[in-house]
Chains A and B, each alone.
Chain A
Amino acid sequence: MVNAKVPEIHISQVQFQPEPQAADGQLPAVAVEASPIRRFLLSRGNSAIADRGFHVLMVLCAFSIFGIVVLIAYELMTLSKLAWGTFGLDFFYKAFVDTYSNQPLYWDPVNSHFSALPFIYGTLVSSFLALLLAVPLAIGVAVFLTEMCPRVLRGPLAFITELLAAIPSVIYGLWAVFVLVPLLREHLNPWLIKLLGWTGFFSDDNPTGLGFVAAGVILAIMILPIISSLTREVMTAVPHSQREAVLALGATRWEMIRMGVLRNARIGIVGAIILGLGRALGETMAVTMVIGNSPEIHRSLLANGSTMASVIANEYAEASSNLHLSALTELGLALFIVTIVVNAFARLLVWAVTRGAPSATH
């Protein structure tokens, strides 16, 4: 301080509190006659056994999750041993060739020919189609909700978006069968064929409306909530000072969002997208209902296909031979490993961005 004239307090002026004095140099005596409350509390003991029991119970709960994962993996491996022994790695990339028609033959339970190829293809195509549709939409929703939405609407809109995640997937499937597929068949598909038919990705040989596009659209709707809510979370974690830094340089609102928010949140957004991918890869019911379920590989996105999850759902109950069962289980194991790795990676990315995030104050 300049010219500091702070009044000083000298130590001699302070009134100190007296130290407690025990009578006759003895410690203060303990009350001899216990009150009823004291007697009641003393009669409770130290509760050591109950506490120990609680501890064990909680440890069991925690480890049961881990145990379930290990058991699933173990069971999948034992059951798929037969298929692994028969086909080895060929299962994942080789196709058989039909000796009569000279056409590739991927999945033929009657002759015990099994290859995962069309299902891997179907899973990848439908999932990436879903990401292609869902990602821009989800980021748009998140940007609107965090940066532009009036405060009154923010809560309800976020709630409705997240409510989409609570709808059972069979309901999505039903809606897709009765509303989405007819819509695609009558309106979108003819238009796609006319406009983009020349690319070969939209050929006019499947009049049902089922197929990869239908599966991709329904998956996109299903993964939208998780991507948008996580994107919202990582965007809110970007400190307000970053937004101000960009604004103070003369940025418009969009430039502020691009440079101050999206750029800082990008790793977390990638995490959110991968988490969405994880859901899309494993989604079963809705996809089974609209993808058409044929174990074939077509270039056309309007063709029928099948995914790893959908073929398991369709055939497991009716599999006749042990090899068929084992092949389906091996598909399940592959799906299990891929989704666990994808999810773990995505969580790691989201965590990297949101950890140590300051509370979102305006």
Chain B
Amino acid sequence: MGVGIEVTTLNAWYGTNHTLQDINLHIPANHATALIGPSGCGKSTFVRCINRMHETNPIARVTGSVRIGDLDIYADAKPVEIRRRVGMVFQRPNPFPTMSIYDNVAAGLKLNGYNNRRELDEIVEKSLKNSALWDEVKDDLKKKSGASLSGGQQQRLCIARALAVDPEVLLMDEPASALDPVSTSKIEDLIFQLKSQYTIVIVTHNMQQAARVAEKTGFFLNGRMVEFDSTHKIFTNPSDKRTEDYITGRFG
């Protein structure tokens, strides 16, 4: 089951570029939360702060606190521990090309020394079923490489890989922006099914996507969070003029 995320005065920098400014936010457990905003507004940086991927860039810096459940991830834990609890799906599908489909899904577990053959088989099957890929790949799990799949299948494989380690939170950074409409709708269906079991944070450029999958939506602009509310309110009756301008297509 997922846990909630409490973000308090989060600030982030790339070099001298202040990309996130004083973000305060509560992301509810077991729901999907969408983050929208124009390019460069800091929404990707924000999700990368939740699993401490932001700091893998040597010029990046973060202050403030992020609590996942009751764990303060910047004060009480090492990045490696956080990333084992928080799964991430990236903008471009990035399966491991040298591994079979099976090994791709099992990668996170094998990495952590989980070697029980029979249980691995079960987890791989369950994760692939959860990511709606099982029926398409079950016959060549160990024969085909992760890179031999189509773009949409690769992205679902990446979701399966993230789910296999049973994360509490699933971060998705524009998971469908590199995919065609059919694959996109499959990914959206998937998010819809998964959000009862995981806390999902999805960054998207596509406002319809946010409206379709998320209960909560946050609007980011120039490194600040302008508005955070229920998706319905954001799209029908936003309280900030800038939010309204953005969702009506006046800019961005």
Contact = CB atoms under 8 A, between A and B. Distances in A.
Interface of A: 1-6, 151, 239, 241-242, 244-252, 255, 259-260, 263-264, 266, 362
Nearest to A150: B58
Interface residues of B, number: 37
Contact of B87 (A2, A6, A246, A248): A248
Contacts of A244: 53, 56, 90, 94
Contacts of A5: 248-250
B235 interface: yes
A3 B107 CA distance: 43
Given A2-B235, A250-B112, A264 B96 contact: yes
23 contacts: A1-B207, A1-B248, A2-B207, A2-B235, A5-B249, A5-B250, A244-B94, A245-B158, A247-B53, A247-B56, A248-B88, A249-B84, A249-B111, A249-B162, A250-B80, A250-B81, A250-B84, A250-B112, A250-B165, A251-B80, A255-B111, A260-B96, A264-B97
Contact of B165 (A1, A249, A266): A249
A326 B178 CA distance: 64
A249 B108 contact: yes
Contacts of B80: 250-252
A2 B247 contact: yes
Residue from the set A1, A6, A266 with the largest chain B CB neighbour count within 10 Å: A1
Nearest to A263: B98
B92 interface: yes
Contact of A241 (B84, B85, B90): B90
Contacts of B61: none
B100 interface: no
A230 B112 CA distance: 31
B111 A264 contact: no
B107 A249 contact: yes
A82 B248 CA distance: 88
Contacts of A245: 90, 94-96, 158, 161
A353 to B, nearest CB: 11
Contacts of B85: 250
Contact of B83 (A2, A242, A247, A263): A247
Given A251-B111, A264-B97, A3 B53 contact: no
B70 to A, nearest CB: 19
Contacts of B211: 2
A151 B59 CA distance: 11
Contacts of A151: 58
A244 B87 CA distance: 12
A4 B111 contact: no
B208 interface: yes
B57 interface: yes
Nearest to A238: B97
Contacts of B127: none
Contacts of A252: 80
B98 A264 contact: yes
Contacts of A264: 96-98
A98 B202 CA distance: 82
B153 interface: no
